[in-house]
Amino acid sequence: MNFQETCQYLFTRLANYQRQGAGAFTKTLDNTIRLAEFLNNPHEKFKSIHIAGTNGKGSSASMLTSILMESGLKVGVFTSPHIKSFTERIKVDGQEVSEEFVVDFVERIQPVIEELKPSFFEITTLMAFAYFERSNVDIAVIETGLGGRLDSTNILSPLVSLITNISMDHSALLGDTLELIAGEKAGIIKDETPVVISQTQEELKHVFDQKAKSLAAPISYADQNYNIIDLGIENGLRQIEIPELNEKYTLDLIASYQTRNVLGVITTLDVLKDRYGIEVSSNAVKQGLAKVVKNAGLKGRYQILQEAPKVICDCGHNEDGIIAVVEQLMSESFEKLYVVWGMSNDKEMNKIMRLLPKNAEYILCQPKIERAAKAHELQQVAIEIGLKADIIEDVNEAVKVTVENAGASDVVFIGGSTFVLSELSEL
């Protein structure tokens, strides 16, 4: 098989959450463990940081990756889902895994795939671990795919676990209350292994405290260690200050919601230093935060695609994510706001779309995947809640027409789903 045939094999022949949704979620680590054993347990051959949470996992992973790279370490990072190419999921020092490695890996374990029938994510997780072992990374930053307790990445024994925040998402799989979801995310906490919580949520604190106590795991709440002052945008980049460190930083991830991820990252670095003697200079932190997009290759986090009209895309897709994006969007200056919007069909369309700005014109699209919500169903919801919405099903045609109609002082926002961004020809 060539690379395209290999990707097709992975996407279509294996259970795939990105394409199918809940039916592809595996509620056991058995396949992951057996695959790891077949590969001689590659995850035991490198140091790691493990990250779970509802929002901010990918951004936090990319910040840590960039900072550790600036410290001179060889850094692997595993994130999901990808936006444009499968190879985005697995990187070493910002370089995506080669297509040749992907093909060779799948061919090597194909007999085991045919025997175990593992999921797409189980295969991808072990592919990342094998690549990091072969690349001889100094450390790898590993993001969970879904939840934590039963996530394939949870066979790791990391140096430190980081949990970003908890909000309602994937309720059918993780639980229909924040407490239940927090319990699933807390599943990445390991025996005597430090855990950092980025954002204190008082109603959930007992979940993490009890889990950490039961495993003798030292626990830190980042926003109780540090404060952050948002100094706003200067020269197109966000400026922040952490008074306790007497330091100012520049972020190339410009959305204000990124500030909540920074404290978890800083506290995780503290753990690496205090517990393991891994020193990261203040200059490496500054350079790393200023070059996250360049170093880690992060896409789709309040990413500006062009100016005049200003075109912005973001992959936020659950309630907390949408609230954060809308807050940032409404801080923009514009004469008119256009929103190109599509969703997956397992999201609560009515609930999420009620969070969107009323003073915008909506163009509803439909990504070319099984899980896409039908554009006409989105339009029905839009009408019910008083949004002005037209339909152009093809994502790129919707963007093209909208940008052509927009004036130089208008803003065009593209979002609602990672699947919308994945089809963008300009991303």
Instruction: Single out the residue in 296, 311, 338 at which a domain terminates.
Output: 296
User: What sections of 278-374 are H helices per DSSP?
Assistant: 282-290, 292-296, 319-329, 349-353
Residue type, 210: Q
In a domain? residue 133: yes
For residues 177 and 235, membership in a common domain is answered with yes
Integer Cα distance of 185 and 165 in angstroms: 9
Instruction: Give the pair of three-digit tokens for residue 187.
Output: 């599943």
**Alpha carbon distances (Å) from 265 to 62, 149, 254:** 10, 22, 16
In a domain? residue 238: yes
CATH number of 291's domain: 3.40.1190.10
For residues 273 and 311, membership in a common domain is answered with no
Integer Cα distance of 395 and 168 in angstroms: 27
Question: Tell me, what's the pLDDT at 346?
Answer: 82
99-116 and 30-38 helices, crossing angle to 10°: 120
For residues 332 and 274, membership in a common domain is answered with no
Integer Cα distance of 65 and 296 in angstroms: 6
DSSP labels for 25-75? ----SHHHHHHHHHTT-GGGGSEEEEEE-SSSHHHHHHHHHHHHHHTT--E
In a domain? residue 332: yes
In a domain? residue 41: yes
Q: Going by C-beta distance under 8 Å and a sequence separation of 6 or more, which residues neighbour residue 58? A: 79, 143, 298, 301
> What is the average per-residue pLDDT within 314-341?
93
| Host domain of residue 332 | 303-422
**CB-based contact 186:208 (threshold 8 Å):** yes
pLDDT, one tens digit per residue, over 159-192 is: 999 999 888 665 555 666 899 999 999 999 999 9
For residues 339 and 266, membership in a common domain is answered with no
pLDDT, one tens digit per residue, over 190-228 is: 999 999 999 999 999 999 999 999 999 999 999 999 999
For residues 279 and 312, membership in a common domain is answered with no
Say whether pTM exceeds 0.85: yes
Pairing of strands 219-221, 310-313: unpaired
Torsion angle, alpha carbons of 142, 52, 320, 330, to 10: -30
For residues 53 and 126, membership in a common domain is answered with yes
pLDDT of 16 strictly over 80 = no
Torsion angle, alpha carbons of 372, 376, 381, 384, to 10: 180
Integer Cα distance of 129 and 6 in angstroms: 18
For residues 282 and 308, membership in a common domain is answered with no
pLDDT band at 11 (very low <50, low <70, confident <90, very high): confident
Q: Based on the number of CB atoms within 10 Å of its own CB, is 283 exposed (0-12), middle (13-18) or buried (19 or more)?
A: exposed
**Alpha carbon distances (Å) from 293 to 94, 95, 326:** 9, 12, 21
- 177: DSSP letter: S
CATH number of 322's domain: 3.90.190.20
Instruction: Single out the residue in 280, 296, 312 at which a domain terminates.
Output: 296
Q: Is 387 helix (H, G, I), strand (E, B) or coil?
A: coil
Integer Cα distance of 234 and 249 in angstroms: 12
For residues 279 and 309, membership in a common domain is answered with no
Integer Cα distance of 415 and 180 in angstroms: 28
- For residue 118, cis peptide bond before it (omega within 30 degrees of 0): no
For residues 316 and 250, membership in a common domain is answered with no
Instruction: Give the pair of three-digit tokens for residue 178.
Output: 């924040």
Instruction: Single out the residue in 238, 273, 296 at which a domain terminates.
Output: 296
> What is the average per-residue pLDDT within 70-74?
98
pLDDT of 404 strictly over 90 = yes
In a domain? residue 244: yes
In a domain? residue 427: no
Q: Give the phi and the psi of residue 104 in degrees, each rounded to 5.
A: -65, -40
pLDDT of 17 strictly over 80 = no
Half-sphere exposure of 174 (CA within 13 A, CB side): 27
For residues 124 and 162, membership in a common domain is answered with yes
Question: Tell me, what's the pLDDT at 146?
Answer: 79
In a domain? residue 327: yes
**Location of structure tokens 């927009």:** 406
In a domain? residue 326: yes
DSSP labels for 358-389? SSEEEEE---SSTTBPPHHHHHHHHHHTT-EE
Higher pLDDT, 21 or 100: 100
Question: Tell me, what's the pLDDT at 176?
Answer: 62
For residues 249 and 394, membership in a common domain is answered with no
For residues 313 and 260, membership in a common domain is answered with no
Higher pLDDT, 104 or 319: 104
Question: Tell me, what's the pLDDT at 148?
Answer: 86
Question: Tell me, what's the pLDDT at 368?
Answer: 92
Q: What share of the chain is helix, strand, coil (3-state, %, to 5)?
A: 45, 20, 35
Our count of domains for the chain comes to 2
pLDDT of 20 strictly over 70 = no
| Mean pLDDT, rounded, of the chain | 93
